[in-house]
Chains A and B, each alone.
Chain A
Amino acid sequence: STMLRIVLSRTLPRISGISNCQYSAAAIPVPNAQPEVHYNKLFINNEWQDAVSKRSFPTINPATGEVICQVAEADKADVDKAVKAAREAFRFGSPWRRMDASDRGLLLSRLADAIERDTAYLAELETLDNGKPYAVSYSVDVPMVVKCLRYYAGWADKWEGKTIPIDGDFFCYTRHEPIGVCGQIIPWNFPLLMQAWKLGPALATGNTVVMKVAEQTPLTALYVASLIKEVGFPPGVVNILPGMGPSAGSAITSHMDVDKVAFTGSTEVGHLIQQASGSSNLKKVTLELGGKSPNIIMSDANMAEAVEQSHFALFFNQGQCCCAGSRTYVQDTIYDEFMERSVERAKSRVVGDPFNMKTEQGPQVDEEQFKKILGYISSGKREGAKLMCGGGVAADRGYFIQPTIFGDVQDGMTIAREEIFGPVMQILKFKTLEEVVERANDTKYGLAAAVFTKDIDKAHYISSGLRAGTVWINCYDVFGAQAPFGGYKYSGNGRELGEYGLDNYTEVKTVTIKVPQKNS
């Protein structure tokens, strides 16, 4: 447990996934670096199936560049099958439609229990497929999955409509009904967690799901599919399809019998999805997209904490977070000290084999991301930012990049405007409060933001002024299943998590009954 504390304090300062509660403390077991893959096919109607085309694709271990295994590749024909299964499971009178809401909650609870039971294995598989350090998969990703599912399990029988005092001799009430067949497309940066964020609210409210998982990281989602079957979800309620965006993803977003699509991924693809909805059946759309989140450090901030939190805000998960604090605005009077300390911290970041317990940073997820990030680093150098540390490849094989910091960054530079999604930190200087709020908001994105200050007034001014879906004060990347998360502007629409997350999976039906005499 000493190892645990060291690992946790270096990689996860103040992550809300870890509570002080004795119930969640556990020593991290030594991982098996070669976990067996049990499931690599499509999951439709609680059955494992090959793709209709019989095609498959490789999934790669980003730490080595080697193929882990082949996975069945879903395309339009498979999407059609899955949608049919989901539609059938949603039929009026079906077991899923007739089930007590509390029993839907019980199933989600059981799924959480099964995932908790298989924590070690799932963490190993997640690290193998995604490259994130095992210590983090084990103590952050999987526990947060469990908490998310348990949270939504609790909502299932508490999502209540209303009776409404309208004018006239009528009895009026609303039913909160499920929308229907929901397409869900999830990314590769938090494969298990993104799956839970999507399934939790959709299933709690009674929908059925066709989920396309990222081609880079399909393995853990498929294992969870086996648990979905094990705990007793009826066939067709959840269908999971590994496949590519332009084929399987597109088939879902343009499908005439999918009632809603929820997408997490790049803003670029978000545009396509919104258009596809308009071109097909006007399916409801919620999007959780990219960000270029400002992290504002006022001169009265606690310096040590601000440095550590800002480091974490950018470098966590190999920089592959939609909400990464990728524009660190530091007030001029403390800029030099902040920079010096940040560089020291970045230089000490341990990059290496994700199965090694000492590792803080693993590889980027694939070659495409790897090249893109290196491209941004070049642009930074070219456009005149000052390279303070890192700036290149960190190993001979796999997709490792050195923790990189750029100073003297100007708002117009590419690295200050575009989402890098890698371990590249931009530090910018500012003078006044009003100035930094304006500069922070000068972006098409609006996912998250943070401010470090002791001053209560400044804290409120900034948090009110920032156009971002989540604002952190004196902390960063604090998530809870209970708190809504989502973006302003091009960072998306709709909120996930919390009670708010249920809205996106609900159709409200108003029922109005004529009565002989209305009384209050």
Chain B
Amino acid sequence: MPVPDLEVQYTKIFIDNEWHESCSGRKMPVHNPATGDLLCEVEEADTEDVDKAVRSARTAFQLGSPWRCMDASDRGLLLNRLADLVERDRLRLATLEALDSGKIFLMAYFVDLMATVKTLRYYGGWADKVQGKTIPVDGEYFTYTRHEPIGVCGQIIPWNFPVMMFAWKIAPALCCGNTVIIKPAEQTPLTALHMACLIKEAGFPPGVVNVLPGYGPTAGNAIAHHMDIDKIAFTGSTAVGKLVQKAAGDSNLKRVTLELGGKNPNIVFADCDLEYAVEQAHSGLFFNQGQCCLAGSRVFVEDSIYEEFVCRSAEKARNKVLGNPLVPGVDQGPQIDQKQFDKILELIESGKREGATLECGGGPWDRNSLFIQPTVFSNVTDDMRIAKEEIFGPVQQIMRFHSVNEVIQRANATHYGLAAGVFTNDIDKALTVSSALQAGMVWVNCYNAMSTQCPFGGFKMSGNGRELGEYALQEYTEVKAVTIKISQKNS
């Protein structure tokens, strides 16, 4: 059960293991999207605060600092301690997350928080296993590589999985020995600030992690342009991703990794388990109020099972229970804010206007709230806006296909390339289609199957670089090759 009458404890900027007021004196309001209530006000970081944080992170990264001299295994131990503390405060964090983001409390508790703990532990385990090599170069030399941390890393995270995104970002960065400045989304800063408190409690030295709540165009922009930040990792929309990339080129050529949007194809062949596929496609779209970069928002269904599939999907959508995210039995909460709400409704209207068949839903759930009815469109064609643009809401598009080659070509006809699903019992189809799809993650007979050991990221405009798994370590490592002249090389 969620913690009743939860009081927000941490509302300031976290720099150098201390709580600071904003340099400007400004604060940001934080709302509960399910009720519209003001939860609290949080200090708003801007350029000056970012400068402070960078100075602190840079100092913590100095050669000879406690963080730089620490055994790698001890960095791992700290991450494991942090995981223990998150476990201890799991109920509180899940409640806070549900209040701040509108996500279903039980999901926050069982999915988001579990993934957070597992990610911290996974990277805790990698810390002393990041290994360089000794290399047999030509000539009388002894050559080896050091896998060094990059330095001060700016990290900007979104509002759809606040605490989980926080863990995905800081864990590999800290594992490899970097120091971090992380800006949580302005809509959802609260769990990030609680994490800051746990980071201090776990024993991370001051300056290693700094948490700055603030807005994109101000604090985010300051981070992307900063001349003393060595790398930036951004998760959010493709539109802002482009700005981040430009800012890096404009400033100090900081390393950039991006995890952006998607318009992910979910391909259902006639030889699948139909009920199972309907269910997976449903949760593949509607999970987290449709607010997933991974959402399977183009469901391609083979001709012979199309009508049945649409019928069952609409039934499922109609049966969804909307309501207070803290109450058990509720399936779907509100969208995160007015801006998203308006955008989703606008796209729904475009679907109607452009001739898609509205199977169910199609509008707000009630007046004066941010809830949207689970919506299913059938007879969607590839040129419609709802088939091309990322909606980020509870709106499922179901399109018809006839052949393997056709659906592969249509699935790939997008600038995005984050994920994809394939439902079939045929081993040949499964292997052929999964090889052909231009997506960073392909699921066969499942959807949204994620685990901290498995890399995550996009082809094309869905981003670059990979998070999670061993692959994430590359993004937080700078390789230095050292070559020593010796008098006689022997194999």
Contact = CB atoms under 8 A, between A and B. Distances in A.
- Which of A21, A160, A481 has the most chain B CB atoms inside 10 A of its CB? A21
Interface residues of B, number: 36
B431 A171 contact: yes
Contact of B484 (A24, A460, A513, A517): A460
Contact of B435 (A101, A464, A499, A519): A519
A519 B80 CA distance: 41
Interface string B449-489: 00011000000000000000010000000000000101111
Contact of B487 (A155, A158, A461, A480): A461
Interface in A77-114: 101-102, 105-106, 109
A24 B77 CA distance: 11
A154 B486 contact: no
A499 B131 contact: yes
A348 interface: no
A109 B80 CA distance: 10
Contacts of A513: 427, 431
A167 interface: no
A23 B203 contact: yes
A483 B488 CA distance: 25
- Which of A147, A171, A457, A460 has the most chain B CB atoms inside 10 A of its CB? A460
Given A155-B129, A499-B129, A460 B122 contact: no
A148 to B, nearest CB: 10
A21 B125 contact: no
Nearest to B77: A23
Given A23-B77, A465-B490, A154 B129 contact: yes
B19 interface: no
Contacts of B71: 19, 21
B70 A21 contact: yes
Interface in B407-441: 427-428, 431-432, 435-436
A157 B453 contact: yes
A160 B80 CA distance: 22
A128 interface: no
Given A461-B486, A499-B131, A150 B77 contact: yes
A457 B486 contact: yes
B214 interface: no
A390 B484 CA distance: 44
B76 A515 contact: no
A107 B265 CA distance: 39
B341 interface: no
B125 A158 contact: yes
A184 B77 CA distance: 29
A190 interface: no
A109 B432 CA distance: 40
B142 interface: yes
B396 to A, nearest CB: 30
B124 A516 contact: no
B490 A105 contact: no
A102 B431 CA distance: 27
A499 B470 CA distance: 14
Contacts of B128: 151, 154, 481-482
B432 A516 contact: yes
A483 to B, nearest CB: 10
Contact of B126 (A20, A24, A158): A158
Interface in B391-415: none
A150 B73 contact: yes
Interface string A126-157: 00000000000000000000010011011111
A154 B74 contact: no
Contacts of A26: none
Interface in A440-460: 456-457, 460
Contacts of B488: 461, 464
A23 B432 CA distance: 52
A160 B125 contact: no
Interface residues of A, number: 37
Contact of A151 (B73, B121, B427, B452): B73
Contacts of B453: 101-102, 157-158
A157 B203 contact: no
Interface string A12-35: 000000011101100000000000
A456 B484 contact: yes
A482 B69 contact: no
Contacts of A461: 486-488
B118 interface: yes
A519 B434 CA distance: 11
A19 B122 CA distance: 23
Nearest to B436: A519
A518 B435 CA distance: 8
B477 to A, nearest CB: 15
Contacts of A151: 73, 128
Contacts of A499: 129, 131
B129 A158 contact: yes
Contact of B69 (A20, A157, A457, A460): A20
Given A19-B74, A23-B77, A105-B125, A515 B432 contact: yes
A461 B489 CA distance: 8
A200 to B, nearest CB: 13
A456 B483 CA distance: 13
A157 to B, nearest CB: 5
Contacts of B427: 513
B125 A460 contact: no
A182 B172 CA distance: 34
Interface in A461-520: 461, 464-465, 480-482, 499, 513, 515-519
Interface in B281-333: none
A99 B124 CA distance: 20
B90 to A, nearest CB: 16
B446 to A, nearest CB: 16
B470 A158 contact: yes
Contacts of A19: 71, 74
A333 B432 CA distance: 73
Given A23-B203, A499-B131, A154 B484 contact: no
Contacts of A480: 73
Interface in B82-128: 118, 121-122, 124-128
A153 B124 CA distance: 10
A157 B122 CA distance: 8
Contacts of B74: 19, 21, 23-24
Contacts of B452: 102, 157
B277 to A, nearest CB: 22
B124 A154 contact: yes
A481 B121 CA distance: 18
Contacts of A157: 122, 125, 452-453
Contacts of B73: 147, 150-151, 480-482
Contacts of A23: 74, 77, 203
Contacts of A464: 486, 488-490
- Which of A154, A160, A515, A516 has the most chain B CB atoms inside 10 A of its CB? A154
A302 B204 CA distance: 36
A19 B74 CA distance: 9
A515 B435 CA distance: 10
A23 B70 CA distance: 11
Given A24-B74, A102-B453, A461-B486, 9 more contacts: A19-B71, A20-B69, A23-B203, A150-B80, A151-B73, A158-B129, A460-B487, A464-B486, A464-B488
6 smallest beta-carbon distances between A and B, as pairs: A154-B125, A460-B486, A515-B431, A21-B74, A19-B71, A157-B453
19 contacts: A21-B71, A23-B77, A102-B452, A102-B453, A105-B125, A147-B73, A151-B128, A153-B125, A156-B125, A157-B122, A157-B452, A460-B486, A461-B486, A464-B489, A482-B73, A499-B129, A513-B427, A515-B431, A517-B432
Interface of B: 69-74, 76-77, 80, 118, 121-122, 124-129, 131, 142, 203, 427-428, 431-432, 435-436, 452-453, 470, 484, 486-490
Interface of A: 19-21, 23-24, 101-102, 105-106, 109, 147, 150-151, 153-158, 160, 171, 456-457, 460-461, 464-465, 480-482, 499, 513, 515-519
